[in-house]
Structure 1
Amino acid sequence: MADVCSTANVNDFNETVPISWMDLPVELWLNVFQNLPKPTILFTIRNVCKLFRALSLDPDLWHDVNMTTIKETTTTLFLPFEDEFQVHGNEKLDRLTEKLILDGNLTNSHLFCPVFDHISASVLKLKFSRYYDDFVLGEKEKLTLYSCVNLCHLDVSFCEYITSTVLKDICENCRKLQVLVLDSCKEIGDEGIKSLQVLQNLKTLDISHCASITDLGLSYMAQMPSKLKHFMSDGVLHISDGGLALFLSGQKNLETLILDGEDLTDIAVNLVASNLPKLTNFQISFCNHLSDQSFESLHGKVRLKRLCYKKLESEKISNSTLANFFAHQSVQDLQQLTLADCLCIENSTLHSIALNCPKLEDLTLQWCPEVTDEAIEKLILSCRNLKQLNLVGVKMLKGHWLNKLELHLPKLKMLDLSFCNLICDEDVYNLVKKKPDLVAYTYFHEKVDYLFVCNEAFLQIKDEPEPLSSSECAGSQGANVDF
């Protein structure tokens, strides 16, 4: 590439000194490249000059790779293809460049192996979820994936080609894994979970919606090194109290536990409270079998920062028990609370939350039909650290408290009032006008931000008729006037 120069004033005598951009330190160029999309580095920057070609495969640029982003940005990538910019030397990537210039489309199968042949040892974090639609995990691709021997974080969510056999090979070859996300990998069963036992440093495991995993898989996880801190298994339906007991017997250092409560009872919650002293994030969905006892067992045993219950039944959970639970000092550190589809939540529960959860930042009361304006008003007067408030489907709300919400909740960034049919859209618009950093949602989940409000105001002004001059009669403008 021709030397690119600029000039700079160095003193009052207007003397100039030429500056060559190519003389900038390598570290500075790498810092610039860090902020570019990966395809731009591979297919544009790489073709500029010899220096950029060498820097394009620098390990520091490839610690974190998201194949989904690579696919999405490559299809619209601009490539310089003048002869002077083509510096050949990497045949596979050059062929990809030519293909992209010719037809403008590359699948992930085209991208994966040629790219990873040169960066696999540098990759520490890899995400290639949700791109299985144009990707075939053949033998060549598998070998390329297994070559990422320094991989610490792997996210293969929704990848239908990740089977128990493939997972076993991944674990055998990528033994440094600390984070493994297998969300919705439906082909993974208990035998695949057994292969995780070789991962001595695994700290985070997400098997959510891996529907084939049963208590047997949990028993295998109990035999893993007890370094696991975060375990997510929402949508894993075939876990019983007994399977959970086996799992917790070997994993007592958990800080995050997310469960599907389809087959779990109060015994499961008691096991959690008794075995996990470090627990700070507890979430359980479809709590159809839980009763008052499950809340009583948590009293004083764990100090939670995040708590989520979905589908608590009013026949088994009394409002007085909930009110007492949230009145206990063990909830004072709560920052995120979700109570969704809980018919048993009434105003008295929210009064306890308002009085005892001063650190609350994120509150969801989605589809809790017994909640009224009076309870919400107490919440916003006490929980002044709230940043997100989700009130979807709380149909009794009229929203008179919206008038001064910007004063009571100065940190609020998101307010969802979808399906709150008694709240007027105009009140939401006026709130956003007074609090420009807020994003709110109206009845039909219409997003209202400051830009939206400004556009609405402009359209209203535009649609209004022009004011009459003092010398004109209203009738001259087409109005019906009685004399």
Structure 2
Amino acid sequence: MSNTSNGDTKTQCLPCNGLVKIPAPTNGLGSASITKGTPAVKNRLYQPPSVPTILSQAFPKHAEHISPPTLPILPPTHTIPLGLSPGEENVPLPCGPPADRGPSPDMNWHLALDEKILTRLFCYFSACEKCVLAQVCKTWRRVLYQPRFWLNLTPVLHAKELYNVSACGEKEFVNLQGFAVRGFESFCLVGVSDLDICEFIDNYPLSKKGVKSVSLKRSTITDAGLEVMLEQMQGVVRLELSGCNDFTEAGLWSSLHGRITSLSVSDCINVADDAVAAISQLLPNLGELNLQAYHVTDTALAYFTAKQGRATHTLRLHSCWEITNHGVVNVVHSLPNLTVLSLSGCSKVTDDGVELVAENLRRLRGLDLSWCPRLTDTALEYIACDLHKLEELVLDRCVRITDTGLSYLSTMPCLRSLYLRWCCQVQDFGLKHLLVMKSLRLLSLAGCPLLTTTGLSGLVQLQDLEELELTNCPGATPELFKYFSQHLPRCVVIE
């Protein structure tokens, strides 16, 4: 399963026909830059869940009856089959103790097959583990195939896995009934063509009305295929196009529908200013736009009107190299209700552009300025003076930021997440300013070369800190990590 929101958290498991969990965004920005990963999230995903001991109690003498024998807990790196393959419905699965193995305690088996108990128990397992547990017996599969266990998860289907090839070489589309039973409302299709999408629509029972979100990655969909997909799948309100180089801006003009509220377009070579014109005119209800396009200029941002101004709350511009302060002017005047803004990789934006943002977008909760090398401490002064509601600030690779800038940020009462990855001028003195920020919950100092062990050790004063990233930080020593484990026991420290 995978994340719809734009987010870039690495998946913990990718089964062959698979499910990858889509983590609900913990903040407004999701994945903000190519340096802003979430390794702490990955660490948490790999930690074994806290699971009641009912399973071990229920099968003390009949563990050999469960296949595989290591169930119910499997390491998340295992490859796990997910969907129902043709004929799987008729596979005889064990539903009770075999008669030839002697009597077993009635209470144990009663607990193991009690659907009310199982419904509560299975909430403790990850998506990958649920896929395996569903193979134990028919009762377990019936319980686990309730839609409640698969919320916020997206099946990832690769083109090569969509067909079964018979002995005579004929291709037959796979059985998607297992996905329909679980009520999946979102899908990620990888490497598909127009024909594959049409086959998916014809073979997935919920495709016409029940699918709310579609993500197409590295696919050869054309203008015609895009138009057919959005015309047939009338429930789609969230659309992602990534690495799709066969559709054009004309395809967006002919296919985009006003019901779409979230649109993400990245690494699509035919997307430029005219694509933004289509988006602004055809999507009056657009709440979230994620755009990564090297050829988009300031002109494109002038297409936004009052239509989007009322609805759009999230705008993420990634590596739009041609955007300057003039484009920022268009954004702040047309989209006054933004709560999340990313200018990550918009390398021509300067302190003056940030001043425009701070003065006009007072509702911002999340701001990403990573990879904007022209920004200085002055930009941080503007942010601290005007954006009093800001909760997350990303400054990765802002190489001109110094300790003076951090002194400005220390006055922000609501800031919970601060990313300073590879800010090469930040020193120990700057960290002292951060020690008064009692609202801070997440701090990333990865790659900051001037921080020493002594300076970092002072962070133990931030007793409410939940996540601290010190990857590639020379001052982070094994002794320091041991010190943090003793004095910041509730904080996830990323080495």
Instruction: Give TM-score scaled by structure 2 length.
Output: 0.66
> What residue ranges of structure 2 are gaps of 5+ in the alignment?
1-93, 98-103, 166-171
1:337 equivalent to 2:393? Answer: yes
Query: Structure 1's 428 and 188: CA in aligned 2 closer, same or farther, altered over 3 A?
Result: farther
- One-letter code aligned to 2:371: K
Q: How many angstroms apart in 2 are the aligned matches of 1:44 and 1:348?
A: 55
- Equivalent residue number for residue 241 of structure 1: 298
- Equivalent residue number for residue 433 of structure 1: 486
1:255 equivalent to 2:307? Answer: no
Query: Structure 1's 148 and 65: CA in aligned 2 closer, same or farther, altered over 3 A?
Result: farther
1:127 equivalent to 2:187? Answer: yes
Contact between 1:222 and 1:249, CA under 8 Å: does it hold in 2? no
Deviations 1:450-469 (A, max 9, x none): xxxxxxxxxxxxxxxxxxxx
Q: How many angstroms apart in 2 are the aligned matches of 1:255 and 1:119?
A: 32
Instruction: Identify which range, 149-158 or 384-393, moves more after superposition.
Output: 149-158
- Equivalent residue number for residue 171 of structure 1: 230
- One-letter code aligned to 1:204: S
Q: How many angstroms apart in 2 are the aligned matches of 1:58 and 1:126?
A: 16
1:160 equivalent to 2:160? Answer: no
Q: How many angstroms apart in 2 are the aligned matches of 1:63 and 1:138?
A: 23
Identity in percent: 20
Q: CA deviation at 1:397?
A: 1.3
**Pick from 401, 422, 429: which aligns with 1:374?**
429
- Equivalent residue number for residue 454 of structure 1: none
**Pick from 226, 242, 267: which aligns with 1:209?**
267
Contact between 2:185 and 2:210, CA under 8 Å: does it hold in 1? yes
Secondary structure in structure 2 of the residue aligned to 1:287: coil
- Equivalent residue number for residue 354 of structure 1: 410
> What residue ranges of structure 1 are gaps of 5+ in the alignment?
9-17, 72-105, 442-446, 448-483
1:414 equivalent to 2:467? Answer: yes
Q: How many angstroms apart in 2 are the aligned matches of 1:251 and 1:372?
A: 42
- Equivalent residue number for residue 393 of structure 1: 447
Instruction: Give TM-score scaled by structure 1 length.
Output: 0.68
Query: Structure 1's 254 and 399: CA in aligned 2 closer, same or farther, altered over 3 A?
Result: farther
Q: How many angstroms apart in 1 are the aligned matches of 2:127 and 2:472?
A: 41
- One-letter code aligned to 2:440: L
Contact between 2:123 and 2:149, CA under 8 Å: does it hold in 1? yes
Query: Structure 1's 149 and 128: CA in aligned 2 closer, same or farther, altered over 3 A?
Result: same
- One-letter code aligned to 1:352: Y
Q: How do 1:208-357 residues align onto structure 2 when only pairs under 5 Å count?
A: 208-234=266-292, 236-248=293-305, 250-252=307-309, 253-259=311-317, 260-302=319-361, 303-314=363-374, 317-319=375-377, 321-328=378-385, 330-355=386-411, 357=412
Q: CA deviation at 1:350?
A: 1.1
Q: How many angstroms apart in 2 are the aligned matches of 1:346 and 1:201?
A: 45
Q: CA deviation at 1:47?
A: 9.0
Deviations 1:387-427 (A, max 9, x none): 22111222121142333423x22232332223333444422
Contact between 1:402 and 1:431, CA under 8 Å: does it hold in 2? no
Q: CA deviation at 1:249?
A: 5.1
Deviations 1:46-67 (A, max 9, x none): 8955x77877876666766533
Q: How many angstroms apart in 2 are the aligned matches of 1:61 and 1:359?
A: 34
Q: How do 1:73-88 residues align onto structure 2 when only pairs under 5 Å count?
A: none
Instruction: Identify which range, 115-124 or 225-234, moves more after superposition.
Output: 115-124
Query: Structure 1's 42 and 422: CA in aligned 2 closer, same or farther, altered over 3 A?
Result: closer
Asked which structure has the greater CA Rg, the reply is 1
**Pick from 149, 163, 172: which aligns with 1:109?**
163
Contact between 1:46 and 1:56, CA under 8 Å: does it hold in 2? no
Deviations 1:311-348 (A, max 9, x none): 3334xx453x32430331x3221111111221221222
Q: How many angstroms apart in 2 are the aligned matches of 1:55 and 1:251?
A: 43
Deviations 1:70-110 (A, max 9, x none): 99xxxxxxxxxxxxxxxxxxxxxxxxxxxxxxxxxx94534
- One-letter code aligned to 2:370: K
- One-letter code aligned to 1:439: V
- One-letter code aligned to 1:370: Q
- One-letter code aligned to 2:259: N
Deviations 1:231-275 (A, max 9, x none): 1113x1111111111134542121111113301111111112112
- Equivalent residue number for residue 437 of structure 2: 383
Contact between 1:121 and 1:150, CA under 8 Å: does it hold in 2? no
